[in-house]
Amino acid sequence: MLISGLMKGMDLPINMIVIVAIAVLVLVVVVGFFGGFFTRGLGDIEFNKAFDGACNQLRASWNCNPDSISRVSSLYQGPGDSGPESYSMNQLCYQKLGKGVATRTGSSSLAFQDLTGCARSCGCAV
């Protein structure tokens, strides 16, 4: 009889630990959501959507010609933009190939010259 009385005393602290653990987990998820931890990938999704649109235009209108990349553009809202703006495929390739972040004002993205690599990243066989 003494042993059964000791076992019942263990239920309260274990239940409390489980409740506290669940509360901490919920708190971490809420802080992560409002802190932007779960929404960081949205910028990548928008960038890939803009790049895929430019690639479709390069394949359909210019037959994957790397020399025509400067004529292709797509709407994209980059970092610091107030809304979607027209980005040339040169600027988008600059970011896609890991050279930096595509910006409207950055001269380095305008001078991107790996046109063949850019066309290949679209799936073109050049």
User: Quick check: is 3 in a domain?
Assistant: no
User: Quick check: is 93 in a domain?
Assistant: yes
User: Quick check: is 27 in a domain?
Assistant: no
Q: Which residues pair with 88 in a beta bridge?
A: 73
More confident residue, 108 or 90: 90
Q: Who contacts 67 (Cβ-Cβ below 8 Å, separation ≥6)? A: 115
CA distance 68 to 52: 16
More confident residue, 100 or 125: 125
User: Quick check: is 58 in a domain?
Assistant: yes
CA distance 38 to 24: 17
CA distance 58 to 68: 8
| Closest among 88, 92, 93 to 117, alpha carbons compared | 93
Give the pLDDT of residue 110. Answer: 47
User: Quick check: is 17 in a domain?
Assistant: no
Range with lowest mean pLDDT among 10-14, 31-35, 118-122 = 10-14
Has residue 1 got a pLDDT over 70?
no
User: Quick check: is 28 in a domain?
Assistant: no
Locus of tokens 């027209």? 86
User: Quick check: is 6 in a domain?
Assistant: no
Q: Are 59 and 114 in contact (CB under 8 A)?
A: no
Range of the structural domain that residue 50 is part of: 42-121
Q: 119: helix, coil or strand?
A: helix
Domain total for the chain? 1
Q: Are 109 and 95 in contact (CB under 8 A)?
A: yes
Has residue 120 got a pLDDT over 90?
yes
User: Quick check: is 32 in a domain?
Assistant: no
